């Protein structure tokens, strides 16, 4: 062994967390110099094993090594080529250094824990290396076809850590429309997830939540699904639907075979496995683009919802104890929320009499993400009248504002951010929630969502405008918005910009402008009509439009003059609605005390109801 290497390894081991980046760089320089002197590959491998065994045991999971100048160092390239790619290439040879492969895989997985804006590109240069990707993909191909390597726990452990490194990199990648260099790896991993071997591993699980997983189960049922979920390259919906088609049935059968009381004994690895599988089985794609594919999984989803619901009383009973399993509680409530995104499953959830009371109790669990998802579920499940009478409006507002602030600038939580806005639309029906949202500075966040171009006009911008429309019924909020000249100019521009796929955005902008600028003029205008153009005004939820069209046709046949937005919604939406009201109601109704006391209600959903 080299005396120089011994000295540097001893210094690194002795100083541990206190060692400086400059000292590590000097050691790396020395390591490269010594490795170049090696006359045979066996000597090189022994030296590398000695060095890596020290580096992998640095405190804080080798955090110091994630500094850009160290990631860019040639020594890490040597580790990648000799410790990973070469060892995988000779994985069937007796000379394979399995301990080196495992240690370098752990080291790379730890490095990828600390990906940030300063080192992302350098880690990409290090990790996205074609020979390495091809060898790793080849391993997964062999597993999916013949089950090869599934009886080799040492190799499986190494592959598990190495795939974790790639998963952490994908998680930090900004989504791109370019072809990903890791696509071959993604396709090979997906084949393993959608294989008879993965199904067999699921069916062989014991009927409890406290069991230990084998290396094969950990890889195929935990790490692989998580990698598939975070893959940032392009993938067709049909590919994403393969995982639930293969695994949803067996997974549901296993979960429902476990007694609800056993959930309090759930191990960390079982909890991780369920959570990571759920990522790919419940929300593999945006369901509105899936051509109704969610109905394909309806029965299994309903079974899961029923079983998760039976877990909630058990969790609530132990939530005040010193129970270490609150992460599983967080997962179950999050999974219940994910199910609400499927309309048919949401209808089934509304039929479970204990679900709303249990979720109300879950809002008292001292874990903010669990509280958020409980409120998001309740916003979907409860009626409008129930929402308006909810207790703790300040708590509801605080939770939402906290997560909106955390997610608004994080591109990897873009989907959750939009989901937050969507669920918040339910809660702004509550007058006191409105007040607390305003007091807790929600308005500037929502204004950003409307005015900044990084937000999708069809998704985030529309949802934020609809929320602001509801908040504008509060005088303080209305005054604040009127005084924001940049915002008002932007909303006017949106209301005048007719784009076919942004009709909801334009409609929300028109409504907000009406409320902020034109309502007082319209209310003050003495418009009394003694003749009425319509006998009936029909307004409806767009989900019920076909039924309403049938009713409309029958009323017309019976001789009634009917106003319906399909025929009369031209020009500014709010003006069209106001004209409809004026021409559909008798003058004595306008003068009635209830009409005078009640302002025009403009819901924020897809319907307009009077």
DSSP, res 16: G
For the entire predicted model, the pTM comes to: 0.81
C-alpha to C-alpha distance for 439 and 437, rounded to whole angstroms: 5
Query: Which stretches of the chain score pLDDT less than 50?
Result: 176-178, 289-291, 529, 570-571, 587-610
Name the residue among 275, 278, 277 with its Cα closest to residue 220: 277
C-alpha to C-alpha distance for 158 and 101, rounded to whole angstroms: 6
C-alpha to C-alpha distance for 316 and 321, rounded to whole angstroms: 10
Which residues are CB-contacts of 47 (< 8 A; sequence separation ≥ 6)? 1, 2, 5, 31, 34, 35, 38
C-alpha to C-alpha distance for 541 and 486, rounded to whole angstroms: 33
C-alpha to C-alpha distance for 387 and 381, rounded to whole angstroms: 10
Residue 559 covered by a domain: yes
Q: What percent helix, strand, coil does the chain show, rounded to 5?
A: 75, 0, 25
Residue 434 covered by a domain: no
Find how far residue 107's CA is from the centre of its chain: 28
Q: Do 47 and 18 touch, CB atoms closer than 8 A?
A: no
pLDDT for the residue numbered 609: 36
Q: Is 564 helix (H, G, I), strand (E, B) or coil?
A: strand
pLDDT for the residue numbered 594: 35
C-alpha to C-alpha distance for 183 and 162, rounded to whole angstroms: 16
Q: How crowded is residue 314: how many other Cβ atoms within 10 Å of its Cβ?
A: 16
C-alpha to C-alpha distance for 334 and 507, rounded to whole angstroms: 32
Domain that holds residue 541: 533-610
pLDDT for the residue numbered 402: 95
pLDDT for the residue numbered 43: 55
Number of folded domains in the chain?
A: 1
Residue 581 covered by a domain: yes
pLDDT for the residue numbered 504: 86
The distance in angstroms from the start CA to the end CA of the chain is 85
């Amino acid at each position: 062994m080299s005396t120089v290497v011994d000295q540097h390894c001893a210094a690194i081991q002795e100083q541990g967390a206190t060692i400086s980046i400059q000292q590590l760089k000097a050691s790396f320089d020395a390591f490269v110099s010594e490795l170049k002197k090696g006359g045979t590959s066996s000597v090189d491998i022994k030296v590398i094993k000695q060095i890596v065994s020290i580096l992998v045991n640095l405190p804080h999971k080798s955090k110091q090594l994630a500094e850009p100048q160290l990631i860019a160092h040639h020594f890490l390239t040597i580790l990648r080529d000799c410790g990973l790619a070469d060892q995988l290439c000779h994985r069937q040879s007796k000379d394979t250094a399995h301990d080196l492969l495992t240690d370098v895989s752990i080291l790379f997985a730890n490095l990828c824990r600390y990906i940030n804006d300063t080192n992302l590109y350098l880690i990409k240069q290090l990790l996205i290396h074609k020979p390495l990707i091809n060898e790793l993909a080849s391993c997964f191909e062999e597993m999916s076809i013949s089950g090869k390597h599934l009886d080799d726990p040492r190799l499986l452990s190494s592959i598990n850590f190495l795939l974790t490194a790639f998963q952490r990199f994908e998680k930090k990648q900004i989504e791109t429309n370019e072809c990903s260099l890791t696509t071959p790896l993604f396709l090979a991993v997906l084949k393993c997830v959608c294989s008879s071997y993965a199904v067999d591993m699921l069916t062989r699980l014991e009927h409890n939540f406290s069991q230990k997983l084998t290396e094969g189960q950990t890889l195929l049922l935990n790490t692989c699904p998580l990698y598939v979920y975070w893959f940032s390259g392009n993938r067709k919906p049909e590919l994403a639907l393969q995982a639930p088609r293969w695994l949803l049935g067996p997974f549901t059968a296993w979960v429902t075979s476990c007694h609800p009381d056993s959930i309090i004994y759930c191990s960390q690895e079982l909890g991780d496995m369920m959570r990571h599988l759920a990522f790919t089985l419940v929300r593999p794609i945006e369901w509105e683009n899936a051509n109704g594919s969610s109905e394909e999984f309806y029965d299994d989803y309903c079974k899961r919802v029923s079983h998760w619901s039976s877990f909630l009383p058990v969790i609530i009973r132990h939530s005040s104890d010193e129970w270490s399993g609150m992460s599983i509680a967080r997962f179950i409530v999050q999974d219940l929320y994910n199910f609400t995104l499927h309309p048919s499953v949401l209808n089934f959830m509304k039929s479970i009499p204990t679900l709303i009371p249990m979720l109300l109790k879950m809002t008292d669990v001292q874990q903010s993400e669990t509280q958020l998802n409980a409120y998001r579920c309740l916003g979907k499940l409860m009626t409008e009248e129930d929402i308006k009478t909810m207790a703790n409006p300040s708590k509801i507002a605080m939770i939402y504002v906290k997560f909106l602030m955390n997610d608004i600038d994080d591109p990897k939580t873009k989907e959750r951010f939009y989901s937050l806005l969507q669920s918040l639309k339910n809660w702004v029906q509550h007058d006191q929630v409105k007040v607390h949202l305003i007091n807790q500075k929600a308005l500037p966040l929502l204004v950003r969502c409307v005015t900044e171009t990084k937000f999708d006009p069809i998704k985030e911008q529309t949802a934020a405008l609809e929320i602001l429309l509801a908040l504008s019924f509060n005088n303080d909020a209305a005054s604040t918005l009127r005084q924001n000249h940049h915002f008002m100019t932007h909303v006017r521009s949106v209301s005048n910009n007719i784009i076919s796929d942004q009709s909801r955005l334009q409609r929300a902008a028109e409504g907000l402008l009406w409320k902020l600028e034109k309502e007082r003029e319209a209310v003050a205008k003495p418009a009394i009509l003694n003749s009425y153009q319509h006998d009936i005004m029909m307004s409806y939820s767009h989900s019920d439009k076909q039924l309403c069209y049938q009713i409309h046709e029958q009323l017309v046949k019976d001789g009634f003059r009917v106003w319906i937005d399909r025929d009369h919604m031209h020009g500014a939406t709010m003006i069209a609605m106001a004209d409809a009201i004026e021409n559909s109601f008798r003058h004595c109704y306008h003068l009635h005390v209830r009409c005078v006391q009640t302002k025009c209600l403009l819901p924020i959903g897809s319907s307009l109801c009077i």
